[in-house]
Amino acid sequence: MSDDRRYRPPPERTLDDVTTEDSRYEAVRSRDARFDGVFFLGVTSTGIYCRPSCPAVTPRRENVRFHPTAASAQQAGFRACRRCRPDAVPGSPEWDTRADAVGRAMRMIADGVVDREGVAGLAARLGYSARQVQRQLTAELGAGPVALARAQRAHTARVLLQTTRLPVTDIVFAAGFSSVRQFNDTIRALHGTTPSGLRAARGGGPGAVVASSSEAEGASGIPLRLAFRGPFAAREALDFLARRAVPGVEEVLGTAPRRTYRRTLALVHGAGVLEADERTGATASGSHTWLDVRLKLTDLRDLTTAVQRVRRLFDLDADPDAVAARFDGDPVLGPATRAVPGLRSPGAADGHEAAVRAVLGQQVSVAAARTLAGRLVRAYGKPLPAPDGGLTHLFPEAGALASAPLTELGMPGSRKHTLRALDTAVADGTIDLGPGADRDGTGQRLRALPGIGPWTVAYVRMRALGDPDVFLPGDAGVRHGLAALGASPRDAERWRPWRSYAVHHLWNAASAKENA
């Protein structure tokens, strides 16, 4: 990534600008990368589908068919373009903003719910019948939950085939396939070649990091390149995470601009360790940008879930150009946005962890909350089988904290009571903090707990649930940021629907004034 701060956002262009086929074709003609992942085009004359920014010759209008998802294009019989790799684009930012059943379903499918629990499990989590879920997704996305999950599995398999030397049998289950035969059939149908053909075609685009041997992968983790759109303020993202890094669970190594963020992950089938580099990559043309990460997993079946947690943590599916275009003319945030292009709103690797840390952070400084979280980890976290550098524990599970004495924290009894009430509600399923949770419903249930107020609910919505439109008027850092920029809380109304990003700009302004 170029860290060029002389950035001017492109003219504001949103999903509403590509609602007609003619407007989508214009985006294709201009190779507008802002819509990569928002829609796909199938070319009837070649039988392939592409992203809007594909560098190939623009197909004739009568030969183009538009699809809302890669799965829809695949359902229609199109194969993925080997030049632009449309299956590797960042997720549509629409799934971050939408809070309805379709948006929630897409976040859960991305997290691997269909692979683990089937369509029935997805429907139960949404509170609908399997038939209703199938109908809603097909109507809006051109594909049902099985096809959407299949497309995701195929993408994961392609990346692993072309970026690692993992044995094919390991890749089958890491990608979420139930059998080698299903894996082979899917690769042939969606990529028009065999798994060995895909592996032989490995190239230099996104995802092209190749480990020297399977033994190297076991030691250093599976190397992956996770795509994102627009500029990415990696320095600010690492700064944000470093200030809040919980000892034993997180650490940041090195010095800017070559730092590496590391943390443990509690996954479905075992533990994992994430490493993400501050320096990002791009092709010579700048058309592809990615975050280099490595994942060490106890069980390869957790790969899809781990990748999605990394994407949420670093907010990789965001549309920073849309945010910047919205703020560009604003007298308060315009200069801040141009000074720090691509500022993200980091999410969380685990929703429960984010909520616990929000309670620990009530009415104390960031440093104090970090210290309290470290004590909690040492007392109740599950140790890793062996320490990995400074990483020693997984963050404590809800069940372990629900009845814990919490004497190590040195907090008021009322705060401990709040923490136990939260963990009890998460442990028994009363509160869902997963990627597809109903944000409004979860917020209401959180507010019903003792000691949970507006700030805690808003912070959980922003970080644990990925809500892009959260404002924290009572937050000390936000108040200081508003004062530094000469603004007031009333200004936040014009920052919708991206107020979470406004909060991060205000925190940056407060920090800059404090360090001046």
pLDDT per position as a tens digit, 460-498: 999 999 999 999 999 999 999 999 999 999 999 999 999
CB 369 within 8 A of CB 357: yes
Q: Helix 234-243 and helix 366-380: axis angle, to 10°? A: 60
User: What CATH number is given for 327-345+469-516 in this structure?
Assistant: 1.10.1670.40
Active site residue 50: yes
Please indicate whether the domains covering 15-88 and 212-310 agree at the CATH topology level: no
Measure the CA–CA gap between 193 and 259, rounded to whole angstroms: 39
Residue 18: per-residue pLDDT: 57
Identified catalytic residue from 36, 50, 87, 319: 50
The H or E element containing residue 335 is: helix 333-339
Amino acid identity of residue 395, one-letter, is: F
Active site residue 81: no
Measure the CA–CA gap between 308 and 471, rounded to whole angstroms: 25
Residue 3: per-residue pLDDT: 44
Query: What CATH class does 212-310 carry?
Result: alpha beta
Residue ranges of the chain with per-residue pLDDT less than 70? 1-19, 202-219, 283-288, 516
Query: What CATH class does 351-463 carry?
Result: mainly alpha
The H or E element containing residue 461 is: helix 454-463
Beta carbons within 8 Å of 36's beta carbon, 6+ residues apart = 51, 52, 53, 86, 89, 90, 229
Tell me: domain 95-200, CATH 3.40.50.300, correct?
no
Task: Select from 100, 491, 158 the least CA-distant residue to 327.
Answer: 491
Residue 285: per-residue pLDDT: 47
Amino acid identity of residue 151, one-letter, is: A
DSSP assigned state of 494? G
3-state secondary structure of 374: helix
Q: Which two tokens stand for residue 42?
A: 């199938």
Residue 8: per-residue pLDDT: 59
Write down the CATH superfamily of domain 15-88. Answer: DNA Methylphosphotriester Repair Domain (3.40.10.10)
Identified catalytic residue from 111, 317, 319, 475: 475
Q: Which residue has the tokens 């919708």?
A: 496
Residue 7: per-residue pLDDT: 55
Question: What is the DSSP track for 83-113?
Answer: TT-GGGSPPPTHHHH--SHHHHHHHHHHTTH
Residue 32: per-residue pLDDT: 84
Residue 208: per-residue pLDDT: 36
Q: How far from 327 is each of 316, 386, 400, 512, CA to CA, in Å? A: 19, 47, 43, 20
Beta carbons within 8 Å of 253's beta carbon, 6+ residues apart = 259, 260, 262, 389
Give the chain's length: 516
Strands 48-50 and 79-80: parallel
Measure the CA–CA gap between 457 and 275, rounded to whole angstroms: 29
Residue 98: per-residue pLDDT: 78
- pLDDT tens column, 114-130: 999 999 999 999 999 99
Residue 204: per-residue pLDDT: 41
Question: Which residue ranges make up each domain of the chain?
Answer: 15-88, 95-200, 212-310, 327-345+469-516, 351-463
